[in-house]
Amino acid sequence: SFLMYRDQSKSLREEQWLGWDEYIRDYAGRNNFRQAWAILGSQFDEQFLIYMNQVMDETHTNRKSENQKLNNG
């Protein structure tokens, strides 16, 4: 996909990234993905690793908050 989008406008690349980010966040909340990431995550680029770890933390925090609301409400 890099070759496909590298010459496209900045706005198109940003729109595409928003879609990827949403997709990544959806997977980051899944237990099987989190287990696989714990094993394989270190194989990726350092900046991507930082981004993914941040997403994983945010997703985990959001899920915990949602579960607490369900249990209390």
- pLDDT tens digit at each of 73 positions of the chain: 555 666 778 787 788 888 889 999 999 989 999 999 999 999 999 998 999 999 999 987 666 555 556 667 6
Query: Three-class SS string for 19-69?
Result: HHHHHHHHHHCCHHHHHHHHHHHHHCCHHHHHHHHHHHHHHHHHHHHHHHH
- Spatial separation of the C-alpha atoms in residues 53 and 66, rounded to whole Å: 20
What is the pTM assigned to this prediction? 0.66
Question: What amino acid occupies position 3?
Answer: L
